[in-house]
Chains A and B, each alone.
Chain A
């Protein structure tokens, strides 16, 4: 049975939790060491050779989100984001996708961001990288799908440990908790079950999908109503008692 799962980057608490969870599910979890550069194909290929025939799947998280005003970003910042974002994802896809293609099965999971579709506001380096990797995932499904490789892109919403991307151009990160129908940010480990499912053959019908795992936060349009308007509506909503208007308490 193919039982090894590779996590390409274990720097975040979220991925560390995922590693523990997947190990508890019976997977042999391996992590790409920091000494191996993710955007150097030869290094990644050499490190991964031992997994041939054993690979159940690979989980590749997007690098941490960050702001990068378009007019102030330097060529150096651009090159760093290019390498850590789309170039690392492409190398991961080529090297591990090639192994899974040869063995005839496996899941390639890109743990990305809602910013593959939704702009950050002063965050073009991160969001254009996410948009690119989302397309890479779809392409992998075309190139390697006929050989048993399943590819997925998860559009993850911001979580507890993520950097605050609040900016003056987009209200997306303002009042973040209230944008979630559950009125809280996703907690660490809440995507673990989804990752385990996507690693399994049961996820085959979802191959090539983009899965929005943002707790409904991008569906929020509450900022169209001011607090004052909400209070007025509350007073005229029988039985609402302050909780009748979604988004304002």
Chain B
């Protein structure tokens, strides 16, 4: 793959979890990164320390993507620091793990404003810089629950169904500028902790599990997602746009 030493990426929600794995991989490949966090700056600093120990270049910026002003100032901070922006990875999302009737109006609206509104705002803010890049890339981290229901979080699945379509629309709108837009449909991933309640109360009933299957599921590692992002950022992936690529260890086949 092509060298990316000069490129710059902004990865939302990258202080921990999937986003943290993505920035670690991108930094290893020589891409300079803005690490965005909102609620947990200590974990973001920890991730930055790990990246610097590996020789990578990054910095932490705390911002809430549901706030238009913060979305703008974060984008400007990346450009001010590194002089350019080539890659936007939209990853910041909330997952509350609540049934339909456990959500209230305020909570479901907040989730929409972060999970979907935040992705749109960041695309809008990053666009002026991405269009100047020879390999402008937008990668939206979606979920297998943009297709298959969760059985434990209707609000989350709604936002992921929305992100699938946001990606397709963005791919059409960005194509004239040479910017590719793709979605990664992520399955169960090994992360530190989730923002919501664990979905143990509603997950697949025991009698629906095949007893001959090996126990447990093959969780995706955050850095495995990072390597897929890295591929999508490469020049070799220039023809891949508007796609939803599933990375779930085969869970959707079961």
> Which residues of A line the B interface, CB within 8 A?
39-41, 69-71, 73, 75, 78, 82, 86-87, 90-91, 93-94, 97-98, 115-124, 127-136, 138-144, 169-170
Contacts and interface: CB of A to CB of B under 8 A. Distances in A.
Contacts of A115: 165
Interface stretch (B73-81, B82-90, B154-162): B154-162
A136 B156 CA distance: 9
Nearest to B173: A70
Given A70-B170, A121-B172, A128-B165, A139 B157 contact: yes
A78 B121 CA distance: 10
The 3 closest A-B pairs by CB, nearest first: A135-B161, A131-B165, A139-B154
B117 A78 contact: yes
Contacts of B162: 86, 128-129, 131-132, 135
7 contacts: A75-B68, A87-B109, A119-B172, A121-B169, A128-B163, A135-B162, A138-B148
B124 A124 contact: no
B158 A133 contact: yes
B99 interface: yes
A128 B155 contact: no
Interface residues of B, number: 44
A37 to B, nearest CB: 11
A122 B165 CA distance: 12
A142 B151 contact: yes
B151 A119 contact: no
A87 B165 contact: no
B146 A131 contact: yes
Interface stretch (B10-18, B54-62, B100-108): B100-108
B24 interface: no
Contact of A128 (B101, B116, B153, B172): B116
Given A78-B120, A132-B116, A133-B158, A90 B108 contact: yes
B149 A128 contact: no
A30 B148 CA distance: 33
B7 interface: no
A143 B154 contact: yes
A94 B103 CA distance: 9
B110 to A, nearest CB: 11
Contacts of B161: 116, 131-136
B99 A143 contact: yes
B157 A138 contact: yes
B100 A119 contact: no
Contacts of B171: 119
B232 interface: no
A140 B169 CA distance: 26
